[in-house]
Structure 1
Amino acid sequence: MAHKFKVEDPKIPARLSSANFQDIYYDEDPFLSNGLIENIGLDREEIDQLVISKVMFKNVSFTGASFPRIDMTDVVFENCDLSNANFSEGIIHRVIFKECKLLGVNFTGAHLGNVRFEECLANMSDFVETRLKHVTFNETFLQNANYADCELLKVSFNQCNLNDIDFTQTDLKGIDISTCRFTRINVALENLSGCEISPEQAIGFATLLGLKVKE
């Protein structure tokens, strides 16, 4: 499906040398750049205000890691496990999450720009009070995800599972969810104005208004 807006790809060198994540502990300000990190476990690592630029992570586990106020630019996560990781109040720009596990990941209060989620498992993820601009979710599971009080600017949900997602106090004007699957979502009717849905989804929303749809 073609998006109505462009999402910039990460600007990463074609060839990256292997990097050691632990090297950041030798710097006064934690900074990681221009490297490939793969096949390691970084579970429960805790670093405040970590800066990451031009890095590719492959087959890396970040389960329960805490990186509040992280600054990520030009980064790719491929086949990584970020379940219950904390990226709250982070700045995340030109980043791709590809085939990643993001169960319960915390993006509360973060700013996401030019970010792609490709075939990820992100059930119960937390995007409360998050600003998303030029962000796409493609074939991603977002069941029970929390998008309360978000700012969505040019955001696309393509063939995602949105069952029981929470859009409380979030304006869905201009957001296309017509290809997504769900039996119910939590959203106020006034916030649905301008949202693009399928005919089948319209029938479901009609029941919220107490309407009876005759076939």
Structure 2
Amino acid sequence: MTKPKLDIEHLITVKFTNLIDDEDHFLQAAHLQNETITQLKLAHPILEYCLVEHFNFIACDFNKFEASNTIFKNCDFSNCQLDQASLYHVSFQNCKLVGTVLDHSYFNEVSFSGCLMDLAALNKCQIKAAEFIETHLEDASIDDTKIKKISFDHCQLNQLSLMFTKLKGIDVSSCQFKRLEVDYTQLRGLIVNSEQAALLGQLYLGLKLTD
């Protein structure tokens, strides 16, 4: 996965009000840190070549949110509406996105590392390239989504819903789950370990295992 291209030493430190006050809600080459934004509704905010650290977005609505070559570190987007987002070369590091809505979004070279994304919604998305590393996705949903390239590395996926999403070539063998919510007809080609294969066989094919 290609990392965001950032010249961190030359970023200009600004406040989030710079984005709000800009007529086009656009920020470029900016460093934002240590703020809490509450219940803000903002249409089509755009971040390019930005570093955002220790930010709390509380119940915000950023429809058509757009970010490219941007890093989010230790940020909280829980219960935010980020539907129809466009994310290109974006990295989320140790962020909270619990219950965050990212439906109808586009992901290209997007990384989630050490994130908490339980109950997050990524439905009806287009995922060209995305990776999830040591990330919690319990009770999250990636339903009816078109996936070209996606990886899950040591993630917690219990009760993750992948309904109406083609699973061929997706590798979850390093992950943990007791159940996946899937259309069993789409299981063909999903890469799993032997324990997971036995579990899915019991859940969806009615197989009975003996010692």
Shorter-chain TM-score category? over 0.9
Map 1:177-188 → 2, pairs under 5 A:
177-188=172-183
Deviations 1:70-115 (A, max 9, x none): 1110111101111011110111111010001110111100001100
Give per-residue Cα distances to partners, 1:116-148, cap 9 Å, x unaligned.
000100000000101112100000000000111
2:129 corresponds to: 134
Q: TM-score, length-normalised on structure 2?
A: 0.96
- Measure how far apart 1:58 and its partner are: 0.7
Other-structure match for 2:38 = 43
Distance in 2 separating the partners of 1:154 and 1:25? 34
CA distance in 1, matches of 2:168, 2:37: 39
Provide the residue aligned with 1:160 in structure 2: 155
Q: Aligned residue for 1:210?
A: 206
Contact 1:21 1:32 survives alignment (8 Å): no
Give the superposition deviation at 1:27.
2.4
> Partner residue of 2:186?
191
SS in 2 for 1:73: strand
Match of 1:31 in 2: 26
CA distance in 1, matches of 2:36, 2:21: 19
Gap regions ≥5 residues in structure 2: none
Give the structure 2 partner of residue 201 of structure 1. 196
TM-aligned CA deviation for residue 26 of structure 1: 3.0
Give the TM-score of the pair, scaled to structure 1: 0.94
How many pairs does the alignment contain?
Answer: 209
Contact 1:91/1:112 (CA < 8 Å) preserved in 2?
yes
Read off the aligned partner of 1:212 and give its amino acid letter. K
Alignment of 1:16-95 (within 5 A): 16-95=11-90
Structure-1 separation of matches of 2:98 and 2:92:
13
- Counterpart of 1:3 in structure 2 is none
Q: Secondary structure at the match of 2:87?
A: strand
Are 1:206 and 1:213, in contact at CA under 8 Å, matched by a contact in 2? no
The secondary structure found in structure 2 opposite 1:190 is: helix
Please tell me whether the aligned partners of residues 8 and 51 of structure 2 are also in contact (alpha carbons under 8 angstroms): no
**RMSD value over aligned CA atoms?**
1.0
Larger mean CA deviation between 9-18 and 117-126 belongs to 9-18
Structure 2: distance between partners of 1:58 and 1:19: 12
The one-letter amino acid paired with 2:185 is E
In 2, the alpha carbon distance for the partners of 1:185 and 1:212 equals 18
How far did residue 66 of structure 1 move? 1.0
Structure 1 segments unaligned to the other structure (5+ residues): 1-6
